[in-house]
Amino acid sequence: MKWASGMAILALVLLVAAGTWSLFPRPDVPPWEEETAAWGAKNAVAAIVLGARLWDTLFEVLVYAMAMVGVRLALRPLRRTEPQAPLPETPLLRRAADVLLGPIVVFAIYLAASGHLGPGGGFPAGALLGSGLLLLALAKGADRLGGELHEPILERGEYGAIVALLAAGLGVLFLGWVGGGLFVGLNLLIALEVAIGAWVVLHHFASSRGEV
Amino acid sequence: MDGMAASALAIALVGLGFWTLLRRRNVIWKLLGLNVAAGGAILFLVAIAHRPQARPPILGLGPGQSADPLPHALVLTAIVIHFATLALSLVYVIFLTERRHSQDVHKLEEER
Amino acid sequence: MIYAVGGVVIYLVLGAGGFLVRPRWLPGTLALLAGVASLALWAPGFSEGVLGGGRWGISVAGDSLALGMWALALVIHGAVLLHERTRPGPFHPLLTLLVGTCLAAALSRDLFNLYVTLELASLVSFLLVGYEGKPRAVWASLQYLILATVGMTLYLLGVGLVYGKLGTLSLSAIAALGPRLSDPAVGIGAGLLVAGAAIKSGVFLFGLWLPPAHGYAPTTVSVVLSAVVVKMGAVTLARLTEALPVGPALVVLGILTGFGGLLYALWERDLKVFLAFSTVSQLGYMLLGFGLGGGAAFGAMLYAVAHGLFKGLLFLAAGEAVERVGRREIARLAGQLSVPVALALAVGTWAIVGLPPLAGFAAKGILAQDAPNWAKAVLFSLEVGTAASFAKLVPLFRPQGTSPIGGLGFLAAAVVALGVGGLLVVPGLFSLWAWGEAFLAAGIGWGLYLGLRTLRPILPRFTFDRALGSLFVGAVVATGILLLW
């Protein structure tokens, strides 16, 4: 069985390679400039993700949110009540958090707000904010930071962002909303959602880490 | 990188990931293999979008051939989905480790 | 189009908002009402439209397949709400999101949108399977997650190949280009797409995660999974046949699935796992029908709806029985079921064996009407096998005591209504020949059961590594069939 399935993987790789070989040379890209401009964006990828294929993006955001629900559901029964050994902490980390946190937040907002003009967008911005929170958690201790960030409020923010995105989706798909302002709003909502989700994962992973 | 080289690399990554997934008995190793394979599939889509000497599909970056924007948008979605499934499966592994004290597939499979 | 998509959005909003609202069941009920209203508004169907417009937009259409799946998903959601309102935790919001996602997947006519909606549907299913935090269910859920992700990786590679060659993701645009499988990129891409979708739907060799996941999930969750979620994989396969000429692969997979699932169902002793294997074998009917196309595809759609209804009923009754008695083996449950549960099991069995006048008979009849003769023979022998495997449930029909009816009555009424309605509407079904054939199959099945029940063959047990390996082999086989056809 092992032997057969190993051969199957090899055959699969060869098949995909043969299929890909026949794709070359690649034809020219059909023109995309006009459609991008019609959506009020400069970045064609942003025009697709937040405009033409917003329907996909809505489900993608839901996938992300559902994974966070799963993290909460599965790890809640494992939450430890006794205090745990603190994460390793160094003065270097604390100084780095002091210095870097401001620029991280500013850069994340910049990424979200300019995603339709150049590289960027809500997802990288949210991931950046989430990693900023990780830095803060390493410097301050995850449990302490978890106490300061009130979970019910975060949850409300998360689901509120999803509901707002879905409502905006109806506006884009049926009422013909376009333009840069719309994209900035959508990107900020996505960034909020992603940052909260990233924090939920980090916090739950850190607080159920068990013996190291 | 050339589109052809990138797609060859992508396909190799998929094979390598699937091989790890199949051969390792530890669930975490399996998830790592799966993640490499998923990364390969994502790189494959990026390679499909590539054109020789292409620029990014952003208005105002000058003349010449640009990359195909649609696969880039698909990749953005696929990355997030893979991140979400990976997070969820790791959480399940944590849960199983706590409850069954094992990450070995054969031990997890024993009837309980 | 706006009514259907609006209905989906309302469903999703109420699902996501449902995490914050109490009582938990209220948003789900509102969503169900909105879904029914939306279905009534777009009911006869709508022609294809492009969400987002332009070359990049996502095509959606309300054809008969979408109509059937919507009706099925809404009925099952209604039955679950009737059955279980007071479940603690985020069960109802998750369920609402799951149903909403399935509604969206049924409308979708875009390769990548199908990928995204299927991913969301399976992610929510993993959560629901592992929901009660029992290690066995969590392990089943993790297996499901890994195998499904492998499937989706293959699907993504297929999307890349097909898009790279044809330059579009919309199914009707692909069909208009008249793709030929002899082109390596299209043929191999189509094979990978079929393999990816087959894993989602639990086809034999691809979907061996299905029996443990459905068998060990909480009662109402197994109802939704085998009634609705599995059908979404089958619908995706049906959609693929509309764009790419992948029918032959579906026919081969359908026959393999039908008999393979049957082989395991015949000797399985755990009631819920048995029902899950029977789901696998019944998927064979649908794939065969979708692969043949034309009138048989319509019959397969009807069979998907009918199977959703009576398998939902069977799982609901079986879950009740297992929870009440505390044992899972069929032999240990005999004579211990309450009247409604035993009655529901009997109705479900009558329907799945394909005896008139219930839903199974009508749907199987329509499926067989337009099929060629060899396919009729396959269908008949599958029916005999189904009867033989379900014969071991007969000792369970002796009831004792009573219990609340819950959603059982609703689903049983739906099974009866669909069956009688089919008999009245479709002309060829009232013939002596069709009725005789159905009873003949059941009779032969009964005899087969009596002959086989003393046998105890040792079938290879499905471990996780075997499931993984068979999946890769299956993917290569499916691609090979398409390339060599």
pLDDT digit string (tens) for C106-125? 999 999 999 999 999 999 99
Torsion of CA C89, C93, C94, C96, to 10 degrees: 150
Chain C residues with beta carbon closer than 8 angstroms to that of A172: 52
- Quote the CA–CA distance of B86 and C146 in Å, as a whole number: 9
Chain B residues with beta carbon closer than 8 angstroms to that of C142: 27, 89, 92-93, 96
pLDDT above 70 as % of chain C: 100
- Cα C317 to the chain's mean position, in Å? 18
pLDDT (mean) for A13-42: 90
Burial class (CB in 10 A: 0-12, 13-18, 19+), A92: exposed
Query: Each residue of C369-410: pLDDT tens digit?
Result: 888 889 999 999 999 999 999 998 888 888 888 888 888 888
C237-251 burial, b at 16+ Cβ within 10 Å, e below that, comes to: bbbbbbbbbbbbbbb
Q: Is pLDDT at C456 greater than 90 in this prediction?
A: no
**Cβ contact B73–A48 (<8 Å):** yes
Using pLDDT thresholds of 50, 70 and 90, give the confidence band for residue A142. Answer: confident
What is the pLDDT at residue A80?
67
Place of tokens 């089958």: C234
Q: Are A104 and A112 in contact (CB under 8 A)?
A: no
Burial class (CB in 10 A: 0-12, 13-18, 19+), C372: exposed
pLDDT above 90 as % of chain B: 59
pLDDT (mean) for A157-186: 89
Q: Is B62 helix (H, G, I), strand (E, B) or coil?
A: coil
Q: Is A81 helix (H, G, I), strand (E, B) or coil?
A: coil
Q: Is pLDDT at A178 greater than 80 in this prediction?
A: yes
- Quote the CA–CA distance of C395 and C333 in Å, as a whole number: 9
- Quote the CA–CA distance of C160 and C150 in Å, as a whole number: 16
What is the pLDDT at residue A181?
87
Helix (H) or strand (E) holding A176: none
- Quote the CA–CA distance of A127 and C253 in Å, as a whole number: 42
**Cβ contact C160–B95 (<8 Å):** no
Which range among A139-143, B103-107, C161-165, C202-206 has the greatest average pLDDT? C161-165
Using pLDDT thresholds of 50, 70 and 90, give the confidence band for residue C67. Answer: very high
- Quote the CA–CA distance of C166 and C185 in Å, as a whole number: 9
Q: Are C98 and C121 in contact (CB under 8 A)?
A: yes
**Cβ contact C123–A63 (<8 Å):** yes
Query: Each residue of B22-65: pLDDT tens digit?
Result: 999 899 999 999 999 999 999 999 999 988 888 888 888 877 78
Q: Are C346 and C402 in contact (CB under 8 A)?
A: no
| Shortest alpha-carbon distance between residue B62 and chain C (Å) | 23
Chain A residues with beta carbon closer than 8 angstroms to that of C192: 16
Can you name the residues that pair with C110 across neighbouring β-strands? C170
What sign does the dihedral C57-C59-C60-C66 (CA atoms) show? negative
Asked if C56 has any chain B CB less than 8 Å from its own CB, the reply is yes
Asked if B63 has any chain A CB less than 8 Å from its own CB, the reply is no
Query: Each residue of C166-202: pLDDT tens digit?
Result: 999 999 999 999 888 888 899 999 999 999 999 888 8
Q: How many residues does chain A have?
A: 212
Asked if C189 has any chain A CB less than 8 Å from its own CB, the reply is yes
Q: Is pLDDT at C75 greater than 70 in this prediction?
A: yes
Q: Which of A2, A17, A63 sits opposite B80 (nearest CB)?
A: A63
pLDDT above 70 as % of chain B: 97
**Which of A 42-71 lie inside 8 A of C, CB atoms?**
47-48, 51-56, 58-60, 62-63, 65-67, 69-70
C160-177 burial, b at 16+ Cβ within 10 Å, e below that, comes to: bbbbbbbbbbbbbbbeee
What is the pLDDT at residue A211?
53
Tokens coding A185: 């709003």
**Cβ contact C192–A16 (<8 Å):** yes
pLDDT (mean) for C99-108: 95
Chains A and B: how many Cβ contacts under 8 Å?
Answer: 123
Q: Is pLDDT at A88 greater than 70 in this prediction?
A: no
Tokens coding A45: 């990828």
Place of tokens 């699902």: C15
Asked if B18 has any chain C CB less than 8 Å from its own CB, the reply is yes
Reference C465, options A19, B43, B91, A3; nearest CA is A3
Tokens coding C40: 């009534």
**Which of B 7-26 lie inside 8 A of A, CB atoms?**
7-8, 11-12, 14-15, 18-19, 22-23
Q: Which of A2, A60, A67 sits opposite B88 (nearest CB)?
A: A67
**Which of B 59-98 lie inside 8 A of C, CB atoms?**
70-71, 73-74, 77-78, 81-82, 84-85, 88-89, 92-93, 95-96
Q: Is B73 helix (H, G, I), strand (E, B) or coil?
A: helix
Q: Is pLDDT at B7 greater than 70 in this prediction?
A: yes
Q: Is pLDDT at C238 greater than 60 in this prediction?
A: yes
**Cβ contact B85–C119 (<8 Å):** yes
Chain C residues with beta carbon closer than 8 angstroms to that of B23: none
**Cβ contact A12–C468 (<8 Å):** no
Q: Are C249 and C481 in contact (CB under 8 A)?
A: yes
Using pLDDT thresholds of 50, 70 and 90, give the confidence band for residue A150. Answer: confident
pLDDT averaged over every residue in chain C:
89
Q: Which of A26, A45, A201 sits opposite B76 (nearest CB)?
A: A45
Asked if C112 has any chain B CB less than 8 Å from its own CB, the reply is yes
Place of tokens 């579009």: C168
Which range among B94-108, C23-37, C128-142, C349-363 has the greatest average pLDDT? C23-37
Reference B31, options A16, C150, C208; nearest CA is C150
Query: Each residue of A110-137: pLDDT tens digit?
Result: 999 998 888 888 899 999 999 898 888 8
**Cβ contact A56–C90 (<8 Å):** no
Q: Is B72 helix (H, G, I), strand (E, B) or coil?
A: helix
First to last CA, chain B: 51
What is the pLDDT at residue C72?
95
φ, ψ for residue A37, nearest 5 deg: -65, -35
Can you name the residues that pair with C58 across neighbouring β-strands? C51
Chain C residues with beta carbon closer than 8 angstroms to that of A77: 133
DSSP A37: H
What sign does the dihedral C231-C236-C240-C242 (CA atoms) show? positive
Using pLDDT thresholds of 50, 70 and 90, give the confidence band for residue C20. Answer: confident
- Quote the CA–CA distance of A160 and A178 in Å, as a whole number: 22
Q: Is A24 helix (H, G, I), strand (E, B) or coil?
A: coil
Using pLDDT thresholds of 50, 70 and 90, give the confidence band for residue B111. Answer: low
Helix (H) or strand (E) holding A82: none
Query: Each residue of C33-59: pLDDT tens digit?
Result: 999 999 999 988 899 999 888 889 999
Q: Are C130 and B17 in contact (CB under 8 A)?
A: no
Asked if A183 has any chain B CB less than 8 Å from its own CB, the reply is no
**Cβ contact C9–A166 (<8 Å):** yes
pLDDT above 90 as % of chain A: 40
Q: Is pLDDT at A205 greater than 50 in this prediction?
A: yes
φ, ψ for residue B66, nearest 5 deg: -120, 165
Q: Which of B18, B51, B70 sits opposite A9 (nearest CB)?
A: B18
Q: Is B64 helix (H, G, I), strand (E, B) or coil?
A: coil
Q: Are C445 and C394 in contact (CB under 8 A)?
A: no
- Quote the CA–CA distance of C62 and C109 in Å, as a whole number: 10
3-state SS, one letter per residue, for chain C: CHHHHHHHHHHHHHHHHCCCCCCCHHHHHHHHHHHHHHHHHHCCCEEEEEECCCCCCEEEEECHHHHHHHHHHHHHHHHHHHHCCCCCCCHHHHHHHHHHHHHHHHHECEHHHHHHHHHHHHHHHHHHHCCCCCHHHHHHHHHHHHHHHHHHHHHHHHHHHHHHHHCCCEHHHHHHCCCCCCCHHHHHHHHHHHHHHHHHHCCCCCCCCHHHHHHHCCHHHHHHHHHHHHHHHHHHHHHHHHHCCCHHHHHHHHHHHHHHHHHHHHHCCEHHHHHHHHHHHHHHHHHHHHHHCCHHHHHHHHHHHHHHHHHHHHHHHHHHHHHHHCCCEHHHHCCCCCHHHHHHHHHHHHHHHCCCCCHHHHHHHHHHHCCCHHHHHHHHHHHHHHHHHHHHHHHHHCCCCCCCCCCHHHHHHHHHHHHHHHHHHCHHHHCHHHHHHHHHHHHHHHHHHHHHCCCCCCCCCCCHHHHHHHHHHHHHHHHHHHHHC
**Cβ contact A9–B22 (<8 Å):** yes
pLDDT averaged over every residue in chain A:
87
Q: Are C39 and C71 in contact (CB under 8 A)?
A: yes
pLDDT averaged over every residue in chain B:
89
**Cβ contact B70–C159 (<8 Å):** no
- Quote the CA–CA distance of C176 and C101 in Å, as a whole number: 28
| Shortest alpha-carbon distance between residue A188 and chain B (Å) | 16
What is the pLDDT at residue C386?
93
Q: Are C228 and C201 in contact (CB under 8 A)?
A: no
| Shortest alpha-carbon distance between residue A6 and chain B (Å) | 7
pTM, two decimal places:
0.94
**Cβ contact A5–B22 (<8 Å):** yes
Using pLDDT thresholds of 50, 70 and 90, give the confidence band for residue A212. Answer: very low
- Quote the CA–CA distance of C345 and A82 in Å, as a whole number: 49
- Quote the CA–CA distance of A61 and C362 in Å, as a whole number: 41
Chain C residues with beta carbon closer than 8 angstroms to that of A67: 123
